[in-house]
């Protein structure tokens, strides 16, 4: 075992603990507080296992889980950009690339390349695995908002149109779940959670 390699890996492991400090806008389902990004990453990784049967044929759930566990690590440096923050999205990509360079660069070369490749794949949305991962990433906070009777949507005055635009990747990434999501959106409007 190479001491320098292990030292790099331990340093990275300790560094990613900071993900627990990054708060998202999404409320926990009991509305007691906002979730942190580490909780979000764990939740969607488990979702990938539970909802694997709804993935399009040929989807590699193992790769999806890896993507879901690493794609938000960049928020340690870049912060969580609220999905409806138009202004924040203007600099989101550049902030996250800079963070990816630093964080993945902490690892030994082979691991740096593997994790960076997964992160890039998720960001580019060019594969079925990445599209399914992105669909789950959209569904999880949506379910939280539905469960909390509009939670974040009400706080920020989010409309049905905004939610439809945000949820659009589900149609291509997890088409077997699309009708279910559309029904939930209609239910949320009918219940007054969305305008």
Q: What is the pLDDT of residues 22-69, one digit of tens each?
A: 999 999 999 999 999 999 999 999 999 999 999 999 999 999 999 999
Asked if residue 28 lies in contact with residue 35, where contact means CB atoms within 8 angstroms, the answer is yes
Calculate helix-pair angle for 128-147, 175-190, nearest 10 degrees.
20
Residue 160 has pLDDT above 60, yes or no: yes
Cα angle at 165 between 37 and 183, to 5 degrees?
A: 90
Helix (H) or strand (E) holding 164: helix 160-173
Asked if residue 19 lies in contact with residue 30, where contact means CB atoms within 8 angstroms, the answer is no
Structure tokens at 161: 């149109």
Asked if residue 116 lies in contact with residue 107, where contact means CB atoms within 8 angstroms, the answer is no
- 73 burial type by CB count under 10 A (0-12 exposed, 13-18 middle, 19+ buried): buried
Q: Pick the residue with more confidence: 3 or 183?
A: 183
For the segment 56-84, the average pLDDT, to the nearest whole number, is 96
| Secondary structure letter of residue 163 according to DSSP | H
pLDDT for 1 equals: 56
Largest CA distance in the chain: 60
């Amino acid at each position: 075992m190479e001491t320098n390699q292990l030292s790099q890996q331990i340093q990275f492991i300790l560094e990613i603990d900071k993900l627990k400090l990054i708060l998202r806008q999404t409320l926990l389902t009991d509305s007691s507080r906002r979730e942190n990004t580490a909780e979000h990453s764990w939740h969607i990784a488990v979702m990938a296992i539970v909802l694997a049967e709804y993935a399009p044929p040929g989807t590699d759930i193992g790769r999806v889980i890896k993507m879901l566990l690493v794609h938000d690590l960049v928020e340690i440096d870049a912060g969580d950009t609220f999905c409806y923050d138009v202004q924040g999205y203007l600099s989101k990509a550049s902030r996250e690339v800079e963070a990816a360079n630093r964080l993945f660069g902490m690892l030994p070369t082979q691991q740096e390349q593997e994790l960076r490749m997964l992160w890039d794949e998720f960001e580019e949305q060019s594969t079925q695995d990445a599209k399914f991962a992105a669909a789950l990433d959209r569904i999880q906070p949506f379910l939280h908002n539905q469960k909390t009777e509009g939670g974040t949507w009400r706080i920020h005055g989010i409309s049905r149109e905004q939610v439809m635009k945000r949820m659009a990747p589900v149609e291509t990434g997890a088409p077997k779940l699309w009708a279910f999501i559309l029904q939930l959106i209609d239910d949320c409007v009918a219940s007054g959670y969305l305008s």
